């Protein structure tokens, strides 16, 4: 009985959170469309986020490209299809692996960062101080951050894709004597708009999800320093989970529109 009650409470809490998150998202759109806009802060956030994740995304992308190619080589060789390597790696990276891995890394890096930053601002009354000094903290802190992640994530994904493809080309170059030019020519021939567009749109939504969850957790963080830790932590977990939900929906929708 106690178990049932507990799981009932958990499920209830889950739906309450989904509701609050949707409300938060709606508030974002409402405030984002209304002047005054905080362009300077937006630029600062964009720079900040791109800068913070660039190296991490690059390194991960490089390794993923490298490993993916190394591990698929024996199988493709068995079928005498090594020349298909650029097509296979290119498409899987651009369509799925690049966006998802980049988004997951950013969830760890950006969502937790935002959660902790806004959380500590809430706890130390900095958000209240902004409110009384006539600046709308939702606009200044939340709208700028969500917009920045939304704009920066597609760029980071493209950057990560490029590095991953470079890693893959490097393997092919060393093991299979394929020139970089030939490799990239094959990749770009294989890629279609039906691969690029959905992937980019998907990255936008990934960015939105990361910014939204990070801001939501931080903005409503509980009092006390423990609250900041919880905000940062739950931001990463919730954002990562939601990313897969968004990914599922995105694949489903692009399947309809682009008949993959």
Nearest residue (CB) to other proteins, 26 versus 129: 129
- Which residue, 57 or 146, has its beta carbon nearer to other proteins? 146
For the bound state, the minimum distance from the C-beta of residue 79 to other proteins, rounded and expressed in Å, comes to 55
Q: Residue ranges of the alpha helices (H) in 79-179?
A: 85-92, 98-106, 112-123, 126-132, 137, 144-176
Q: How far is the CB of 124 from other proteins (least distance, A)?
A: 5
Identity of the residue, 133 or 181, whose beta carbon is nearer to other proteins in the bound complex = 133
- Binning the chain into helix, strand and coil, the percentages to the nearest 5 are 90, 0, 10
Burial 156-188 (b: 16+ CB within 10 A, else e): bbbbbbbbbbbbbbbbbeeeeebeeeebbebbe
Residue numbers at the binding site for other proteins (CB under 8 A) = 117, 120-121, 124-126, 128-135
10/223 with CB nearer other proteins: 223
Closest CA relative to residue 112, chosen from 215, 41, 202:
215
Closest separation in Å from C-beta 42 to other proteins: 15
Q: Least separation, in Å, of the C-beta of 223 and other proteins?
A: 11
Q: Report the nearest approach of other proteins to the CB of residue 222 (Å).
A: 12
Taking the least distance from each CB to other proteins, the nearer of 129 and 249 is: 129
Neighbours of 96 (CB within 10 A): 16
């Amino acid at each position: 009985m106690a178990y049932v009650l507990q799981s009932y409470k958990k499920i209830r809490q889950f739906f309450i959170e989904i509701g609050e998150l949707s409300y938060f998202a709606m508030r974002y759109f409402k405030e984002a469309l209304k002047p005054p806009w905080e362009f300077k802060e937006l630029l600062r956030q964009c720079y900040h986020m791109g800068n913070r994740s660039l190296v991490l995304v690059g390194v991960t992308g490089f390794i993923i490209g490298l490993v993916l190619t190394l591990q698929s080589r024996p199988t493709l060789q068995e079928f005498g299809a090594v020349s298909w390597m650029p097509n296979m790696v290119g498409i899987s990276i651009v369509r799925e692996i690049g966006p998802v891995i980049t988004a997951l890394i950013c969830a760890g890096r950006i969502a937790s960062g935002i959660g902790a930053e806004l959380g500590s601002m809430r706890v130390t009354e900095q958000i209240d101080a902004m409110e009384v000094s006539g600046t709308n903290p939702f606009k200044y802190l939340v709208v700028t951050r969500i917009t920045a992640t939304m704009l920066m994530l597609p760029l980071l994904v493209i950057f990560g894709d490029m590095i991953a493809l470079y890693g893959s080309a490097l393997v092919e170059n060393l093991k299979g004597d394929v020139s970089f030019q030939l490799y990239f020519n094959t990749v770009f021939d294989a890629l279609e708009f039906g691969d690029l567009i959905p992937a980019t749109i998907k990255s936008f939504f990934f960015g939105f999800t990361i910014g939204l969850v990070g801001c939501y957790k931080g903005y409503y963080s509980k009092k006390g320093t423990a609250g900041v830790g919880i905000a940062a932590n739950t931001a990463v977990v919730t954002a990562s989970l939601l990313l897969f939900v968004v990914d599922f929906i995105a694949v489903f929708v692009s399947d309809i529109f682009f008949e993959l």
